[in-house]
């Protein structure tokens, strides 16, 4: 047992001695005792630090001061949106979690690969505060302290190029676009667009100008849900937190560079995400019942006489009213910023068509009660009869209110096949009410067919 213990101790000593000697043998750390790095970085880093110390006389200049240049160029390689959630208490404001991959040039971090450090292709910095890094942050919506930003994965190459990753969590500035379609005039409520942007700046007191350059894709398609609850909170256990997503889905990420206040020296890196509220089931619930009811209303001539048509139209009007009340119940309390959503225009047209259809049917019913003694045009009567019988499969019903009192002057004329000559009873006239009813009913049917065609075109525009 003692021999085994001795062997284990020797093995541990062999493993630990080389790593300890690495820091002991690094001769560049002797003048850097005031730094709090704790000897965690590679010897190459302390060589660069010692060189900077000999030039400036400060061991902190490499970590606190930017490179000596009038213009600092930050190259943005990529911006990755990892997670998006709704701000508590809001239905359209987002918290965005992501990473910014960038690089910049620092002449103080160059080294000669032909000398002592010829085997070092790059230098990985484990402590992000060991060297200066740009302060790429958003100052707009972080007054409450809910934002965070940190720099990680710092890698330095021999030409002085520094690659890093900035992890951020910021509340974006969002605005719902109620003018989505068509021609930026009408909204696709309840499926709006939400554009959220984060405005990154990099102000350095010793640099006159900070310039952003986008090297990666300025626009990228995404498909990420916007969660309505955080994945993890300190007050709750990880396995007890449910990931409930909201109706919003992030579909696009864009990166642009703008100038603050129109000044060329003040640049802003805009990271924007575009989200769409995908509520297809709610949209179907708002459109399908009222569309089907309107089609039934406009096809009411197939149900029978005018009285039946009125009952059918009043019933469908009741369904349309219920659908409109449901639409009003889900409307945002703050409105639509003075924009009429497209679905509201659709409902307005539906109620207009319904009112005109009911009004025409009522007028036709009223005209059908009026006794007509003047015959209509024969061609007009035959056309109306053709429409009613062949196309709409309907005929005006004979009522007891109107009869045609006609007698023949010679009743024996039928047997002898003589010319029938009807003589109107004294004090009475011929009744053409039934002929006019054919015409009135044909007008009602033609109007319904016209409105049916118009509404069919409206439905095609709304759904497709």
CA nearest 230: which of 413, 25, 404, 87? 87
Give the phi and the psi of residue 404 in degrees, each rounded to 5. -105, 105
Give the H/E segment covering residue 308. Answer: helix 306-329
Region of residue 145 (phi > 0: left; psi between -120 and 50: alpha; otherwise: beta): left
End-to-end CA distance of the chain: 83
- Is the CB of residue 402 less than 8 Å from the CB of residue 346? no
Question: If 0-12 CB within 10 Å is exposed, 13-18 middle and 19+ buried, where does residue 275 land?
Answer: buried
Each of the 464 residues of the chain gets a pLDDT tens digit; together they read 555 564 555 654 554 444 443 444 577 676 655 554 445 567 888 888 888 888 888 878 888 888 888 788 899 999 999 888 888 877 788 889 999 999 999 888 888 877 777 778 888 888 888 888 888 888 776 656 668 888 888 999 988 899 999 999 988 888 877 655 433 444 566 667 788 888 888 877 777 788 899 988 889 998 888 887 655 554 555 444 456 777 888 999 999 998 776 666 678 899 999 988 877 777 788 888 999 999 999 998 888 888 889 999 999 999 999 999 988 887 776 666 666 777 888 899 999 999 999 999 999 989 888 888 888 888 888 888 888 877 666 666 655 343 333 344 444 444 444 333 334 444 456 778 888 888 888 899 899 989 999 999 988 887 76
Single pTM value for the model: 0.65
The set of residues, in sequence order, having a beta carbon less than 8 Å from that of 264 and lying 6+ positions away, is 209
Cα-Cα-Cα-Cα dihedral of 357, 360, 364, 370, to 10°?
150
Task: Give me the domains of the chain, ranges plus CATH numbers.
Answer: 36-278 (2.70.170.10), 282-409+421-463 (no CATH)
- Is the CB of residue 445 less than 8 Å from the CB of residue 366? no
- Is the CB of residue 109 less than 8 Å from the CB of residue 162? yes
- Write the DSSP symbol of residue 92: S
């Amino acid at each position: 047992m003692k021999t085994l213990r001795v062997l284990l101790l020797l093995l541990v000593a062999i493993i630990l001695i080389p790593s300890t000697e690495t820091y002991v043998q690094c001769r560049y750390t002797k003048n850097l005792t005031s730094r709090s790095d704790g000897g965690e970085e590679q010897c190459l880093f302390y060589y660069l630090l010692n060189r900077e110390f000999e030039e400036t006389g400060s061991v902190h200049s490499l970590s606190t001061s930017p490179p000596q240049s009038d213009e600092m160029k930050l190259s943005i390689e990529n911006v990755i949106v990892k997670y998006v959630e709704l701000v508590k208490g809001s239905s359209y404001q987002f918290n965005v979690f992501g990473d910014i991959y960038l690089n910049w040039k620092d002449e103080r971090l160059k080294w000669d690969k032909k000398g002592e450090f010829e085997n070092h292709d790059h230098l990985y910095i484990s402590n992000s505060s060991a060297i200066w890094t740009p302060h790429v942050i958003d100052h707009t919506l972080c007054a409450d302290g809910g934002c965070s930003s940190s720099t990680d994965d710092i890698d330095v190459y021999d030409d002085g190029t520094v690659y890093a990753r900035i992890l951020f969590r910021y509340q974006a500035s969002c605005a719902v676009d109620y003018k989505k379609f068509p021609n930026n005039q009408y909204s696709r409520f309840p499926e709006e667009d939400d554009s959220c942007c984060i405005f990154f700046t990099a102000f350095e007191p010793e640099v006159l100008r900070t310039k952003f350059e986008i090297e990666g894709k300025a626009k990228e398609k995404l498909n990420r849900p916007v969660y309505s609850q955080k994945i993890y909170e300190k007050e709750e256990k990880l396995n007890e937190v449910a990931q409930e997503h909201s109706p919003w889905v992030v579909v696009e990420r864009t990166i642009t560079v703008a100038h603050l206040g129109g000044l060329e020296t003040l640049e802003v890196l805009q990271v924007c995400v575009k989200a769409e509220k995908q509520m297809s089931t709610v949209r179907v619930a708002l459109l399908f019942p009222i569309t089907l009811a309107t089609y039934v209303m406009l096809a009411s001539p197939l149900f029978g006489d005018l009285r039946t048509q009125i009952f059918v139209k009043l019933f469908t009007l009741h369904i349309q009213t219920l659908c409109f009340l449901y639409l009003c119940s889900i409307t945002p309390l703050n409105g639509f910023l003075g924009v009429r959503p497209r679905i509201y225009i659709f409902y307005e047209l539906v109620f207009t068509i319904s009112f005109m259809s009911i009004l025409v049917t009522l007028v036709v019913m009223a005209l059908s009660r009026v006794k007509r003694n003047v015959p209509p045009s024969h061609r007009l009567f035959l056309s109306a009869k053709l429409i009613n019988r062949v196309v709409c499969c309907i005929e005006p019903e004979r009522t007891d209110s109107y009869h045609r009192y006609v007698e023949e002057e010679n009743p024996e004329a039928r047997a002898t096949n003589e010319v029938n000559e009807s003589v109107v009873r004294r004090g009475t006239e011929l009744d053409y009410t039934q002929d006019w009813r054919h015409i009135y009913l044909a007008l009602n049917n033609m109007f319904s067919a016209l409105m049916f065609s118009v509404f069919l075109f409206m439905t095609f525009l709304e759904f497709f």
